[in-house]
C-alpha cells in the first residue's frame, strides 16, 4: 500500500466516521424536537404518548367555554374538533393576550404541552387563518371588517 | 384574446427551447461549431416568447382583464398600480411565469457573453439550460397555466394576498430571490457541459465561477431582504424561524457558498474538480427542491400535495435532474483527473476543505430537518414538523466553526505554513478576539456561545482588514502611491479577493447581530388604557389613544404609543392593524424604533374601541439592524468579484504587486 492510498483510506474513513456521527446526532436531535399536529380527538387517542412532546393543537374554540380569571391575566377555554357539542375537546390554559380575531367558534392553533391532569398549557396562541388566500364568499361585502372589529373584542374579554 | 396570445407565446417558447436544447446538446457532443448560430437563434426566440408572455400578463393585470384566469385570481380594481404589477409574482402560476422570463434572460445573457468562446462547451451548456427551459415552459403551458379563460367574466377580483401588499419590501424581495434561484440554472448548465466533455479547464472554470457568483449574490440579498420583511411586516417578533420556505432559500445558498470556496482550491491546485462540480449540480437540485417545496403547497397538508397539479410534475423533474446528475458524476467523474495535490495540514487548502465539509454538514442537517416531516408524513400519515430548537442546536456549533475558519483560512498560505508564519499571522488577531470577548464579559454580558461569537467576530474582522490592508501598504511603499489610489489599484487588481473579503465582513456583521439579538432579547406583553404605561428595559411606553384611517385598498386602526427611551427622548410609535376589504383577517404592521445598537419593537395584538384599550407585544432586539446593514457589503463584494476583468488588466497582471515571500502574505494571489 503506497502512502497516498493509505492517506486516502484514512481520509475516507475519517469522513465516514464524521458523517455517521453527524447523522446520529442529527436524528437524535430531531427525535427530541418534533412538533406534532393534532386535533383534540387525535391527541386524546394517543393516550400517554401525548404527555411531553410539543404539540400544535388545532381546533375550534368551544362556545361557552371561554373564561378569564379575576385579574384578567389567565385565559382558559376548550378546543374542540368541531362545533358540535359532542365533539372531543381539551381544556387549554393560556397566559398570553389573545390576538384580535380570537373569539368563540373561531379556528385556533395552540402550541404547548399536554399533561396528565388533562390540561393543555399553551405557550403560543394563534388564530387559524389560512396561509393561502381564499376568495371571499358571496355576501362578504366590504363592510365585513366592521363586524370583525367590534364583535370579537367584546366576546373575548 | 389575451389568453390566446399568452398561451401562444408560451408554446412558442416551449418549441424554441426544445429545438435549441436538442441542437445544442447534439452539436456539442459531435463538435459541430456551426450549431452555435442556430442555438443562439433559439435562445433569442425563447427570450422574446417568455418576455412577451410576461408582458401580456402584466397588460392583462393592469387593464383588469378578469377573463384571464390568473387576473381573476389575484387582480382587483382597488389595488394600487404598483401592487397590481407586482401581483405577477404574488401567486403560484404567475410566479412560475416570471421564473420563465428570468430564465430566458439568464440564458440569453450567458449566450451573448460567451459567443466567442470555443463553441463546444457553450453549446452543451446552452443545450442543458434550454432543456430546463423546456420543463418550465411546459409547466406554464400545462399544469400551471395562468392564461386559462374564465367564463363568465367576473366584474372584479379579490386582489393579491394582503400580506404581500403590506410593505414595499415585497416588491423587491421576491425578484431578488428568483434571480438567485433561477440563476443557478447557468452554473448547472456549465457544470453539465464540463461533465459531458469529461474535462474542466481553467477557462471554463472561470466561467463557472463567475456565473455562480451572480446568482449567489442575488440569493444572499434575497435571503436578507426576506428576513427583513419577516421582521418589519409579519410582526411576530423575529426574522428567521427555520420555516421550510426559508430553509428552501438557505440550502442552495449554502452549497453555492461552499462552491465559491472550493473553486479557489480547484483553480489554484487543480484538484477537487469532481467535488466542485457536484456542488454546482447540488445547488441547482436544491433550488428545484426549494421551488417544489414552496410552490406545490406540500407544507400545508398532505391533501394539497395530491391535489396540487404542479407538485407531481416538479417531483418528476427533480427525479430526472437527480438521476442525470448522479449518472454524469458516476460515468464522467473519473475522467476529471486531479492534476495537483493538496498541501500540508496547516495550509489554506486544508482550511477551505474543512470549510466545505462544514458547509456540507450544515446543508445535510438543514435538509434533513426540512424534509423529515414530509417523508414521515408520506409513510406514516402523521403530521409533524421539526421544531426550531433542532435547527438551532445543530446549526449554531457548525456556524461558529465556520466563523472561526473565516479567520483561519485567509491567514494561512497556500501549500505549507511554517510555525513562524503561524505565530506571526495569528498572534494579533487572536489577541484582539480574546480582548473583545473579555471586554464584553466585564461589561456584564453573559453566555459562553455568544461571547465566543463576539470574540471570533473580532478575530475574523482583524484578519480580514489586515489581508485587505497589507497589499495596499506594500503598494504605497514600493510604488509611492497615495492611499486612495493604492486601495483602488489593489482592489481592482485582485477583484475576487477584495470582493470576497468585503463579503466576509458582511458575514461577520450577520453573525454578531444574530448572536446579540437572540441572546439578549427582552419581551413583554401589556394591555393599556389611554394614559397608562408599561416599562421594558430602559423604555417606557404610554398609550395615547386609538386612531383609524382609510387607504384606497384598506382601512386601519393604529394605537398611538409615546415611547420614551432611557435618555428621556420621546418618539410616537403607531403599530397598526390593517383590514383589507376582501380579506376577513386583519394584518398587523409592527412599529419599530430603531437605533444603532437596539430596536424597540412594538406590535398591536388586540384592541377594544369601546373601552378603549389596546394590547401589545413589545421586544427589545439588540443589534438586530446590523443584519440588514450587511446588505450593501454583500452587494458591493459580490459585484466587485463578479465584475468582468478588462483585457488590459490581464495584460499587465505580470507586474502584480510584489509581496515579500509568498508565505508571508498568503492572500495576495487568491
Provide the pLDDT for residue B582.
Answer: 64
HEC profile for chain A?
CCHHHHHHHHHHHHHHHHHHHHHHHHHHHHHHCEEEEECHHHHHHCHHHHECCEEEEEEEECCCCCEECCCCCCEEEEEECCCCCCCCEEEEEECCCCCCCCCCCCEEEEEEEECCCCEEEEEEEEECCCCCCCCCCCCCCCCHHHHHHHHHHHHHC
- Contact flag A30-B369 (C-beta cutoff 8 Å): yes
pLDDT score recorded for residue A70: 73
Query: Is residue B359 within 8 Å of residue A12, measured between CB atoms?
Result: no
pLDDT at B286: 96
Written in H, E and C, the secondary structure of B567-594 is CCCEEEECCEEEEECCCCCCEEECEEEE
Least confident of B223-227, B480-484, B552-556: B552-556
Residue with cell string 376568495: A135
Using a 10 angstrom Cβ sphere, with 0-12 exposed, 13-18 middle and 19 or more buried, the burial of residue B620 is buried
- Chain B hits for A133, CB-CB cut-off 8 Å, are 91, 158, 160-162, 583
The CA distance from B596 to B599, in Å, is 8
The yes-or-no verdict on residue B514 having pLDDT over 80 is yes
Strands (E), B372-502: 384-386
Check residues B299 and B293 and name the one with the higher pLDDT.
B293
Provide, as residue numbers in chain A, all residues whose Cβ is less than 8 Å from the Cβ of B605: 97-100
Q: What string of H, E and C letters represents the secondary structure of B227-294?
A: HHHHHHHHCCCCCCCCCHHHHHHHHHHHHHHHHHHHHHHHHHHCCCHHHHHHHHHHHHHHHHHHHHHH
Q: What is the pLDDT of residue B583?
A: 65
Does the pLDDT at position A137 exceed 70? no
Q: Which three cell numbers stand for residue B522?
A: 427582552
In this predicted model, what pLDDT tens digit does every residue of B6-18 receive, in sequence order? 999 999 999 999 9
What integer pLDDT is reported at residue B411 of this predicted model? Answer: 92
Measured CA to CA, the distance from residue B96 to residue B132 in angstroms comes to: 13
Residue B536 has pLDDT above 60, yes or no: yes
Q: B56: buried, middle or exposed (CB in 10 Å: 19+, 13-18, 0-12)?
A: buried
pLDDT tens-place string over residues B327-343 = 999 999 888 888 877 77
What is the pLDDT, as a whole number, of residue B597?
A: 92
The half-sphere exposure of B630 on its side-chain side, counting CA atoms within 13 A, is: 27
Sign of CA dihedral B224, B228, B230, B236: positive
pLDDT of residue B660: 42
Mean of all residue pLDDT scores within chain A: 78
CB-CB under 8 Å, A25 with B606? no
> What are the grid coordinates assigned to B652, written together?
499587465
pLDDT of residue B393: 93
Could you tell me the residue ranges of all domains in chain A? 1-33, 34-130+144-156
Instruction: Choose the closest CB to B368 out of A30, A100, A153.
Output: A30
Q: Helix or strand or coil: residue B542?
A: strand
Q: What is the DSSP letter of B309?
A: S
Give me the residue label for grid cell 438567485.
B180
The answer on pLDDT for A4 being more than 80 is no
Q: What average pLDDT does this structure show over B600-608?
A: 91
What residues in A contact B386, CB-CB < 8 Å?
30, 33-35
Find all residues with CB under 8 Å of B368, minimum gap 6, and list them: A26, A27, A30
Better-scored residue on pLDDT, A6 or B316 = B316
Q: Taking a contact as any Cβ pair under 8 Å apart, which residues of chain B between 121 and 180 contact chain A?
A: 157-158, 160-162
Taking contacts as CB-CB distances below 8 angstroms, the residues of chain B near A98 are 605-606
- For the domain A34-130+144-156, what is the CATH code? 2.40.50.140
Distances (CA, A) of B564 to B116, B437, B600, B659, B665: 64, 31, 10, 55, 51
Contact B200, B274 (CB under 8 A): no
Give Cα separations from B410 to B148, B400, B414 (angstroms). 55, 16, 10
Mean pLDDT in residue range A122-131: 71
Q: Which CATH architecture has domain B1-159?
A: Up-down Bundle (1.20)
Q: Which residue of A56, A69, A96, A100 is the best one to mutate when testing the B interface, meaning the one whose CB has the most B CBs within 10 A?
A: A100
What pLDDT is stored for residue B458 in this prediction?
97
> ∠ CA(B120), CA(B126), CA(B131), 5° rounding?
130
E-strand stretches of B355-435: 384-386
Cα separation of B434 and B407, whole Å?
14
For residue A156, what pLDDT band results from cuts at 50, 70 and 90?
A: very low
Within 10 A of A124 (CB to CB), how many other CB atoms are there? Answer: 13
The pLDDT mean for chain B works out to 89
pLDDT recorded at residue A1: 59
Q: Which helix (H) or strand (E) holds B474?
A: helix B448-478
CA distances for B133 relative to A54, B44, B255, B363, B410, angstroms: 43, 13, 23, 27, 39
Would you state the pLDDT for residue B653?
A: 41
Peptide bond into B59 cis (omega under 30): no
Partner A contacted by B383 (CB < 8 A): yes
Given a cut of 80, whether residue B645 has pLDDT beyond it is no
- Please check the confidence at residue A129 and state whether its pLDDT lies above 60: no
- Nearest C-alpha in B relative to A128: B585
Compute the average pLDDT of residues B20-37: 94
In this complex, is the C-beta atom of B342 within 8 Å of any C-beta atom belonging to chain A? no
Per-residue confidence (pLDDT) for residue B584, from 0 to 100: 66
> By CA distance, what is B376's nearest residue in A?
A34
Share of chain B above pLDDT 70, in %: 94
Q: Closest by alpha carbon to B290, among B185, B211, B181?
A: B181
Q: Is the pLDDT of residue A141 over 70?
A: no
Residue A133: closest CA among B446, B163, B495, B213: B163
Q: Please, which residues 463-522 of chain B have a Cβ atom closer than 8 Å to chain A?
A: none
Please give the pLDDT value at position A82.
85
Residue B142: how many CB atoms within 10 A of its CB?
13
pLDDT of residue A135: 41
Torsion of CA A12, A17, A23, A26, to 10 degrees: -130
If pLDDT is split at 50, 70 and 90, which confidence band does B499 have? very high
Name the β-bridge partners of B542: B533, B562
B525 and chain A in contact, CB less than 8 A: yes
The CA distance from B249 to B326, in Å, is 23
Which residue from A minimizes the CA distance to B613?
A153
Instruction: Provide, rounded to the nearest whole percent, the portion of chain B with pLDDT above 90.
Output: 63
Q: Where is pLDDT greater, at A123 or B108?
A: B108
Residue A71 in contact with partner chain B when CB distance is under 8 A: no
- Closest-CA distance, B477 to chain A, in angstroms, reads 44
CA B147/CA B53 separation, integer angstroms: 9
Q: What is the largest CA-CA distance in chain B?
A: 81
For the residues B495-509, what does the mean pLDDT come to? 95
B134 is written with which cell numbers? 423546456
Q: A36 to chain B: which residues are within 8 Å by CB? A: 382-384
Cross-chain Cβ contact A37/B297 below 8 Å: no
Beta strands A89-94 and A119-127: pairing type?
parallel
Task: Say if residue B76's pLDDT is above 70.
Answer: yes
Q: Cell 368551544 identifies what position?
A: A62
Region B185-195 average pLDDT:
96
Write the pLDDT tens digit of every residue in B404-458.
Answer: 999 999 999 988 888 888 898 999 999 999 999 999 999 999 899 999 999 999 9
Q: What is the pLDDT of residue B68?
A: 92
Residue B647 pLDDT > 60, yes or no?
A: no
What's the pLDDT at A68?
86
Residue B89: predicted pLDDT: 86
* Cβ within 8 Å, pair A30-B390: yes
pLDDT at residue A133, as a whole number: 38
- Mean pLDDT value of segment B472-487: 90
Q: What's the alpha-carbon Rg for chain B, to the nearest Å?
A: 27
Q: Which residues pair with B528 in a beta bridge?
A: B614
The pTM for the full model equals 0.90
Amino acid at each position: 500500500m503506497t502512502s497516498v492510498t493509505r492517506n486516502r483510506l484514512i481520509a475516507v474513513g475519517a469522513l465516514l466516521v464524521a458523517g455517521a456521527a453527524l447523522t446520529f446526532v442529527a436524528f437524535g436531535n430531531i427525535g427530541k424536537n418534533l412538533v406534532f399536529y393534532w386535533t383534540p380527538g387525535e391527541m386524546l387517542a394517543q393516550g400517554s404518548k401525548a404527555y411531553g412532546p410539543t404539540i400544535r393543537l388545532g381546533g375550534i374554540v368551544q362556545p361557552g367555554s371561554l373564561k378569564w380569571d379575576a385579574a384578567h391575566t389567565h385565559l382558559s377555554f376548550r378546543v374542540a374538533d368541531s362545533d358540535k357539542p359532542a365533539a372531543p375537546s381539551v381544556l387549554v390554559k393560556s397566559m398570553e393576550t389573545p390576538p384580535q380575531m380570537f373569539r368563540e367558534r373561531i379556528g385556533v392553533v395552540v402550541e404547548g404541552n399536554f399533561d396528565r391532569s388533562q390540561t393543555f398549557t399553551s405557550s403560543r396562541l394563534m388564530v387559524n387563518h389560512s396561509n393561502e388566500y381564499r376568495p371571499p364568499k358571496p355576501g362578504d361585502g366590504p363592510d365585513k371588517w366592521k363586524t370583525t372589529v367590534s364583535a370579537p373584542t367584546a366576546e373575548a374579554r | 384574446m389575451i389568453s390566446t396570445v399568452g398561451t401562444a407565446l408560451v408554446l412558442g417558447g416551449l418549441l424554441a427551447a426544445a429545438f435549441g436544447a436538442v441542437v445544442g446538446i447534439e452539436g456539442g457532443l459531435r463538435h459541430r461549431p456551426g450549431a452555435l448560430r442556430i442555438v443562439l437563434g433559439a435562445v433569442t426566440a425563447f427570450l422574446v416568447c417568455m418576455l412577451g408572455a410576461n408582458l401580456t400578463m402584466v397588460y392583462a393585470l393592469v387593464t383588469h382583464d378578469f377573463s384571464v384566469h390568473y387576473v381573476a385570481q389575484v387582480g382587483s380594481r382597488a389595488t394600487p398600480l404598483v401592487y397590481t404589477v407586482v401581483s405577477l409574482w404574488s401567486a403560484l402560476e404567475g410566479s412560475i411565469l416570471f421564473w420563465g422570463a428570468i430564465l430566458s434572460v439568464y440564458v440569453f445573457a450567458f449566450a451573448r457573453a460567451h459567443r466567442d468562446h470555443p463553441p463546444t462547451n457553450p453549446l452543451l451548456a446552452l443545450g442543458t439550460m434550454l432543456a430546463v427551459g423546456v420543463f418550465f415552459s411546459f409547466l406554464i403551458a400545462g399544469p400551471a397555466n395562468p392564461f386559462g379563460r374564465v367564463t363568465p367574466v367576473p366584474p372584479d377580483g379579490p386582489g393579491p394576498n394582503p400580506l404581500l401588499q403590506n410593505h414595499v419590501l415585497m416588491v423587491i424581495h421576491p425578484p431578488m430571490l428568483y434571480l438567485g434561484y433561477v440563476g443557478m440554472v447557468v452554473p448547472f448548465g456549465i457544470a453539465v457541459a464540463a461533465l459531458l466533455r469529461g474535462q474542466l479547464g481553467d477557462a471554463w472554470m472561470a466561467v463557472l465561477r463567475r456565473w455562480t457568483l451572480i446568482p449567489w449574490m442575488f440569493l444572499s440579498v434575497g435571503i436578507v431582504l426576506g428576513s427583513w420583511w419577516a421582521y418589519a411586516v409579519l410582526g411576530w417578533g423575529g426574522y428567521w424561524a427555520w420555516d421550510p420556505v426559508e430553509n428552501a432559500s438557505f440550502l442552495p445558498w449554502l452549497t453555492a457558498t461552499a462552491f465559491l470556496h472550493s473553486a479557489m482550491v480547484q483553480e489554484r491546485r487543480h484538484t477537487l474538480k469532481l467535488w466542485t462540480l457536484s456542488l454546482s449540480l447540488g445547488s441547482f437540485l436544491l433550488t428545484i427542491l426549494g421551488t417544489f417545496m414552496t410552490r406545490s403547497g406540500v407544507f400545508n397538508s398532505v391533501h394539497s400535495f395530491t391535489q396540487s397539479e404542479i407538485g407531481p410534475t416538479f417531483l418528476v423533474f427533480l427525479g430526472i435532474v437527480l438521476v442525470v446528475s448522479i449518472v454524469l458524476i458516476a460515468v464522467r467523474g473519473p475522467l476529471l483527473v486531479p492534476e495537483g495535490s493538496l498541501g500540508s495540514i496547516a495550509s489554506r487548502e486544508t482550511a477551505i476543505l474543512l470549510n466545505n465539509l462544514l458547509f456540507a454538514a450544515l446543508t445535510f442537517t438543514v435538509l434533513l430537518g426540512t424534509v423529515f416531516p414530509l417523508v414521515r408524513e408520506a409513510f406514516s400519515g402523521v403530521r409533524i414538523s421539526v421544531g426550531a430548537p433542532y435547527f438551532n442546536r445543530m446549526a449554531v456549533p457548525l456556524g461558529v466553526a465556520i466563523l472561526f475558519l473565516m479567520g483561519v483560512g485567509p491567514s494561512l498560505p497556500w501549500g505549507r505554513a511554517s510555525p513562524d508564519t503561524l505565530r506571526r499571522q495569528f498572534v494579533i488577531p487572536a489577541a484582539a478576539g480574546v480582548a473583545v470577548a473579555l471586554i464584553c464579559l466585564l461589561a456584564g454580558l453573559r453566555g459562553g456561545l455568544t461571547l465566543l461569537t463576539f470574540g471570533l467576530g473580532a478575530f475574523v474582522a482583524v484578519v480580514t482588514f489586515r489581508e485587505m490592508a497589507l497589499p495596499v501598504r506594500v503598494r504605497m511603499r514600493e510604488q509611492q502611491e497615495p492611499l486612495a489610489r493604492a486601495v483602488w489599484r489593489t482592489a481592482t487588481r485582485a477583484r475576487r479577493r477584495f470582493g470576497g473579503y468585503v463579503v466576509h465582513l458582511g458575514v461577520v456583521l450577520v453573525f454578531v447581530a444574530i448572536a446579540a439579538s437572540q441572546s439578549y432579547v427582552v419581551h413583554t406583553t401589556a394591555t393599556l388604557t389611554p394614559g397608562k404605561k408599561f416599562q421594558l428595559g430602559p423604555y417606557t411606553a404610554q398609550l395615547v389613544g386609538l386612531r383609524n384611517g382609510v387607504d384606497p385598498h384598506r382601512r386601519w386602526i393604529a394605537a398611538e404609543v409615546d415611547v420614551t427611551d432611557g435618555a428621556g427622548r420621546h418618539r410616537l410609535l403607531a403599530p397598526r392593524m390593517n383590514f383589507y376589504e376582501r380579506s376577513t383577517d386583519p394584518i398587523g404592521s409592527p412599529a419599530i424604533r430603531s437605533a444603532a445598537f437596539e430596536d424597540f419593537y412594538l406590535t398591536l395584538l388586540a384592541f377594544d374601541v369601546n373601552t378603549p384599550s389596546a394590547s401589545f407585544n413589545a421586544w427589545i432586539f439588540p443589534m438586530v439592524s446590523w443584519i440588514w446593514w450587511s446588505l450593501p457589503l454583500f452587494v458591493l463584494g459580490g459585484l466587485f468579484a463578479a465584475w468582468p476583468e478588462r483585457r488590459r488588466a490581464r495584460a499587465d497582471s505580470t507586474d502584480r504587486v510584489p509581496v515579500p515571500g509568498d508565505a508571508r502574505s498568503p492572500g495576495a494571489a487568491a
